[in-house]
Amino acid sequence: MIVVCLLVSYFMRPLISVVSASWNQGRHLAECHRSVLPLERGLVEHIVVDNCSDDETSEVLNQFPEIVKIVEKDRGQSEALNKGFAMAKGEWILWLNVDDFLLPGVIDRMLKILQTGDAHFDLLYGHTVFVDAESRTIRTVYQPIWHYWMTAIGCYAAPSTGSLYRRRILVEHPLDENFHMIMDTEWMLRVGRQLGVRRLNHRTVSFRIDDNKTAGHIQSGELTPRHRSEREALAKNYRSYDENEDRSLAGRLLIKLARKCTRLWILGDKFISKTFLLKLIHPTRKSK
């Protein structure tokens, strides 16, 4: 009987484990959870790692007994996410901020890709929709096709929230828990060379611009002191990532030129992605 139970447990393992770090975002938790529920039950688990929130989080968690809960103190979202990654049962992990949510049909689209054997990648992501505190759309951020050199020179890192990762990669290479703001960028710099990455030309995730996300920084692009200190820490190990005063004048000019060319590349990629996506959504009608 024990053997039968173990076999049933193994074959009913979820294909995707959604991992969300949580702290005082109970007002958004239900929307986040409902967005990852697939049409076919049993294929997705949702792990919420909560830092002992003192808002309505615990009441919301109790409304959804299917959520796998870890409620204990942590040193920040990097530690919380690592806990969730380690206990995930799925072969794939969807990193999803608890105040963000997937767009309709996205989880089933991801499952279909995995089930049809088309998963020739380690990281899958799509375009991002910025929303406000009330889930109203602000604008769409079209994500370019990622290449390692884009991150290496400090121009672009593939999005983390709403992205699908091969579990083995995240478990073997956990987040650096000394980083709290750009831990995903640090991870991409450290692990990115070995990743197979695929970009979907679809809107996949809604990213909430709210006070908890330092909205001023996101909207203006200005660095907060914490962002700046973490960028400086990265620059010590990755010399091309940020400004280095000890670099020669020719070296600094070369990096600046590379960044300008990369930004033009990204703008062109975004324009092409937007054009083709809009054509898919609103195909031109042929005249009779």
**In this structure, is residue 227 part of a structural domain?**
yes
When pLDDT is cut at 50, 70 and 90, the band that residue 287 belongs to is very low
When pLDDT is cut at 50, 70 and 90, the band that residue 6 belongs to is very low
pLDDT of residue 251: 81
Distance of alpha carbon 160 from alpha carbon 146, whole angstroms: 12
pLDDT of residue 118: 86
Mean pLDDT computed over every residue of the chain: 89
Non-local CB neighbours of 19 within 8 Å, separated by 6+ positions: 47, 49, 81, 84, 85, 88, 93, 94, 95, 96
**Residue 62, domain extent:** 2-281
- 10 phi and psi, to 5 degrees? -65, -50
**In this structure, is residue 223 part of a structural domain?**
yes
Structure tokens at 95: 């990193």
Tens-digit pLDDT profile for residues 194-246: 999 999 999 999 999 976 555 555 555 677 888 889 999 999 999 889 766 66
**In this structure, is residue 104 part of a structural domain?**
yes
| CA 181 distance to own-chain centroid | 13
pLDDT of residue 9: 42
DSSP β-ladder status, 197-208 and 101-102: antiparallel
Non-local CB neighbours of 147 within 8 Å, separated by 6+ positions: none
**In this structure, is residue 191 part of a structural domain?**
yes
Q: In the predicted model, is pLDDT for residue 8 greater than 50?
A: no
For residue 259, the domain's CATH number is: 3.90.550.10
**Contact of 270 with 201, CB cutoff 8 Å:** no
**In this structure, is residue 287 part of a structural domain?**
no
Distance of alpha carbon 183 from alpha carbon 77, whole angstroms: 9
**In this structure, is residue 131 part of a structural domain?**
yes
Give the mean pLDDT of 13-23.
Answer: 96
Q: Tell me the residue type at 84.
A: G
Distance of alpha carbon 253 from alpha carbon 169, whole angstroms: 35
**In this structure, is residue 288 part of a structural domain?**
no
**In this structure, is residue 73 part of a structural domain?**
yes
Q: In the predicted model, is pLDDT for residue 117 greater than 70?
A: yes
Distance of alpha carbon 81 from alpha carbon 48, whole angstroms: 9
How many independent structural domains does the chain possess?
Answer: 1
